[in-house]
Amino acid sequence: MSALDELRGLRRGGAQVRKRDNRAAFWFLAPWFAGLLLVTVGPVLASFGLGFTRYNLIQPPRLIGFDNFARILSDTRLHNALRVTFTYVLVSVPLQLACALGVALLLNRGLRGLAFYRSAFYLPSLLGSSVAIAVLWTQVFGTEGLVNRVLGFFGVEGKGWISDPDTALSTLIVLNVWTFGSPMIIFLAGLRQIPEVYYEAAAIDGAGRWSRFWRITLPLLSPILFFNLVLQIIHAFQSFTQAFVVSGGTGGPSDSTMFYTLYLYQQGFSRFDMGYASALAWFLLLIIAAFTAINFWAAKFWVFYDD
Amino acid sequence: MFRGVRRGAAWVVLLSLTASLAACGSGSDAGGDLTTEKVTLRFTWWGADDRHKRTQQVIDMFQKKHPNITVKGEFKEWNGYWDSLATTMAANDAPDIMQMDELYIASYAERGALLDLNEAKKHLDTANFDQKALATGAIAGKQYGLPVGLGMYSIMVNLDLLAKYNIPVPDDTKWSWDDLKSIGDQVSKAGGGAVFGVQSPGINDAAGLSIRARQQGKAMFDADAKVVLPQEIARDYWQYILDLAKSGIAAPPSVTVEKASAGLNQSATATGTAAFGLWWNTQLTALTAASGAKLKLLRLPGETQGTAPGAYYKPSMFWSVSSRSKYPAEAAAFVSFLANDEEAAKILLTERGVPANQKIREAIAGQLKDTDKAAKEYLDTVPVSDPPRITPNGASTLDTILKRHTEDVLFGRTTPDAAAASFIKEVQSEVDAAK
């Protein structure tokens, strides 16, 4: 038997094996798939229907046409929530990615104990959207918190950062920036992919550190940057826990931490207006979809694929 | 966590859909006999540590008398309580027995979430309740809540602080809101930035505003659930709060907001950082324990300057049973135990208000601690007028709307006048939206 025949035989057997594998995979996936249908797809579709109703959580829903969607246009508190959310997304995501990239570049220089630093910087993003961290945040930025003690040491008088509407959102932005670990890990992986020879060639041609960064690192990293950008924007739009915990569920003071999702939650669970809350959820989906589409469109102009 | 909430919300939708299909079948009968099978009742309340300990003791007593009934207590802080109640209610997973507030009872009852306790009469003894008291928990003839206790709005003064600064206790039989301001100012000056005169009102409770209206013969709502609060009264109220903050009689706004959001144990009264605060008289014991200071109940300012006393007996809370409880008879029996058992009452005392059950009120009189006695005496002696109408369906967000407007005023984002207009408009539209 020639080697070629043997290979053919293998391939034929392989097809059968693959078929069997597929079936096994299906069964292993079935619980997840059932969960997806029951817990995600079903309710998502139901919420679309509820968006056209008045539904107070207890009595049966009642059709009201497009009233809920019309209300989105005139709801001034919602417009404030949109302003807060856009500020949060547009300020915290670029800052977060800049931090992530900066630290990734530092760590990529072959430090000793890299694994330790990597974990240390990654840790906050595991904890970032947890209740515990949000509670910690109220302590750190409270009137008698860590920040004010440090400021006090330098003779600067602090204030309640979270309980003042001028600064409350900033503390949440800082919190989001602090959780730069997960994009950082992705950046690090991307940096590892850039062939060393490019840098060597550039160095021979006399390129300085700065121009190597601009002309080699950044273009070759741009697909990764794009990926992180899309992901983090979506993530930031969906932020909820931080604002909920820090404001005691109110979005206060003065609606200054009223994230879109928190407003949605309040409509559904404090005002018992699940119809409007459902409409808001679908509107948020549209906003996120629009942002993502714009991102993909803009990517043509700055993302470079080195194929 | 957002993912968790989203998934939770998804469940809610799904369950409520299936629930509406399955709503035809029902469990045991409210008027039937108590079961001898093993059942578990869920019982939920809001409150501070002191309440949790006492309530758990009473649950243990009940379980000893009914070995087949397990009562599982679930307790939370005020804010989280209502969010979680709404969620579990929608998921058809509401606790069997709920501590209910005047602010929410109409909202839940009118949406059909509460059992008419008359259906469970067989197990629930209300003989020792005054009809007027019972009526506070009834809507259109149906008893959706059994009043637990009565409370009154009051000023709590920290006597230790006044003694420390050599400031005499004001005569509360005829003092005005301006008197509170001026004595608060003395405290703030003596306190040197660490202690303030008055804990700013208007953050946690709309009762203060209601009192101001009542003192001038007005009210927040009329019988038809229309908002009839005059704009000038609301404006003066916020102007007063703004003056307190601006003149340093109350703590700076960010401190005020922080403390008020952190719960009773972190409040200015509990931490001894303000000499005067508006509280329910029945919170005296909890606040005395939290502050470790000697606190005294004073009458509200402005009670003799206006046309009528603003003070009234407020049912501090109600016991309600879920209309979807599988064990309404057992739940009613537990409520009856809470409301009528003398041994239980001797543990609960006045922590949830001076008992609305008159027999119980007398039974515990000898048992009361000094602070509880003071709360009872306050209730027995201070003049009141008729209570305001129950907070209408839709207006259960009244307190949070008030808080947001107070914050807007305190942080200079709006004027007292604009806040007053916006507040009235928003509350009215909330009531209209629920119709």
Q: Look at A141-145, B74-78, B140-144 and tell me which has the smallest mean pLDDT.
A: A141-145
The predicted structure's pLDDT at residue A120: 86
Q: How many domains does chain B have?
A: 2
Residue A7 within a domain: no
Among residues B58, B54, B57, B49, which one has the least CA distance to residue B335? B58
The reply to whether B113 touches chain A by the CB within 8 Å rule is: yes
Structure tokens at B89: 């209610």
pLDDT tens, position by position, A168-186: 999 999 999 998 988 999 9
Long-range contacts of B176-180 (CB under 8 A, 24+ apart): B176/B301, B176/B302, B176/B305, B177/B240, B177/B301, B177/B302, B179/B301, B180/B155, B180/B276, B180/B301
Are residues A110 and A41 both part of a single domain? no
The predicted structure's pLDDT at residue B24: 35
pTM above 0.95, yes or no: no
Residue A97 within a domain: yes
pLDDT tens, position by position, B355-365: 989 899 889 88
Q: Report the gap between the CA of B166 and the closest CA in chain A (Å).
A: 28
Confidence of residue B14 (pLDDT cuts 50, 70, 90): very low
- Give the nearest chain A residue to B322 (CA atoms): A58
The predicted structure's pLDDT at residue B3: 42
pLDDT tens, position by position, A93-110: 999 999 999 999 988 887
Q: Which domain holds residue A40?
A: 15-50
CATH, residue B192: 3.40.190.10
Are residues A181 and A269 both part of a single domain? yes
pLDDT > 90 fraction of chain B, expressed in percent and rounded: 58
Residue B385 within a domain: no
Q: Of residues B409 and B130, which shows the higher confidence score? A: B409
Are residues A167 and A236 both part of a single domain? yes
Chain centroid to CA B207: how far?
A: 10
The predicted structure's pLDDT at residue A9: 54
Are residues A142 and A282 both part of a single domain? yes
The reply to whether B389 touches chain A by the CB within 8 Å rule is: no
Are residues A126 and A247 both part of a single domain? yes
Among B residues 6-35, those touching chain A with beta carbons less than 8 Å apart = 7, 9-14, 16-17, 20
Per the prediction, chain A carries an average pLDDT of: 88
Question: Cα–Cα distance between B356 and B133 in angstroms, integer?
Answer: 7
Residue A9 within a domain: no
pLDDT at B296 over 90: yes
Are residues B28 and B120 both part of a single domain? yes
Mutate to test the interface with B, among A78, A140, A163, A176 (most CBs of B within 10 A): A163
Are residues A103 and A43 both part of a single domain? no
Residue B1 within a domain: no
Q: Report the gap between the CA of A73 and the closest CA in chain B (Å).
A: 17
Are residues A29 and A122 both part of a single domain? no
Question: For the residues B141-145, what does the mean pLDDT come to?
Answer: 92
pLDDT at A121 over 90: no
Helix runs in chain A, H state only: 3-35, 42-50, 67-74, 76-107, 114-127, 131-140, 146-153, 168-178, 181-193, 196-204, 209-212, 218-237, 241-246, 260-269, 274-302
Question: Cα–Cα distance between A286 and A274 in angstroms, integer?
Answer: 18
- Give the nearest chain A residue to B253 (CA atoms): A164
pLDDT tens, position by position, B71-93: 999 999 887 898 889 888 888 88
Are residues A190 and A85 both part of a single domain? yes
CATH, residue A214: 1.10.3720.10
Are residues B342 and B263 both part of a single domain? no
Are residues A35 and A123 both part of a single domain? no
The predicted structure's pLDDT at residue A119: 86
The predicted structure's pLDDT at residue A19: 76
Question: For the residues B231-237, what does the mean pLDDT come to?
Answer: 96
Are residues A33 and A136 both part of a single domain? no
Residue B273 within a domain: yes
Residue A96 exposed, middle or buried by CB count within 10 Å (0-12, 13-18, 19+): buried
Mutate to test the interface with A, among B407, B408, B409, B425 (most CBs of A within 10 A): B407
Confidence of residue B178 (pLDDT cuts 50, 70, 90): very high
Q: Look at A16-30, A229-243, B149-163, B303-317 and tell me which has the smallest mean pLDDT.
A: A16-30
The predicted structure's pLDDT at residue B22: 37
Among residues B390, B348, B374, which one has the least CA distance to residue B222? B390
Q: Report the gap between the CA of A240 and the closest CA in chain B (Å).
A: 5
Q: How many domains does chain A have?
A: 2
Domain boundary among B379, B403, B425: B379
Q: How many CA atoms lie within 13 A of A65 on its CB side?
A: 2
Confidence of residue B316 (pLDDT cuts 50, 70, 90): confident
Q: Is the dihedral of CA B138, B144, B145, B146 positive or negative?
A: positive
Chain B CB contacts of A244 below 8 Å: 1
E-only strand ranges, B59-202 = 69-76, 97-100, 138-139, 142-143, 146-151, 153-158, 196-198
Are residues A132 and A202 both part of a single domain? yes
pLDDT > 70 fraction of chain A, expressed in percent and rounded: 93
Residue B125 within a domain: yes
pLDDT at B40 over 90: yes
Residue B232 within a domain: yes
Of B86, B89, B411, the CB nearest to A254: B411
Are residues B334 and B240 both part of a single domain? no
Are residues A42 and A130 both part of a single domain? no
B1 and A47 within 8 Å at the Cβ level: the answer is no
Mutate to test the interface with B, among A254, A256, A258, A280 (most CBs of B within 10 A): A254
Residue B386 within a domain: no
pLDDT at A1 over 80: no
ipTM of predicted complex = 0.82
Are residues B12 and B138 both part of a single domain? yes
Confidence of residue B4 (pLDDT cuts 50, 70, 90): very low
Q: Which domain holds residue B409?
A: 153-311+394-434
Residue B422 within a domain: yes
Q: Of residues B50 and B275, which shows the higher confidence score? A: B275
Are residues B137 and B187 both part of a single domain? no
Residue B254 within a domain: yes
Are residues B98 and B36 both part of a single domain? yes
pLDDT at B111 over 80: yes
| Residue in this structure with the two tokens 């430090």, named with its chain if needed | A111
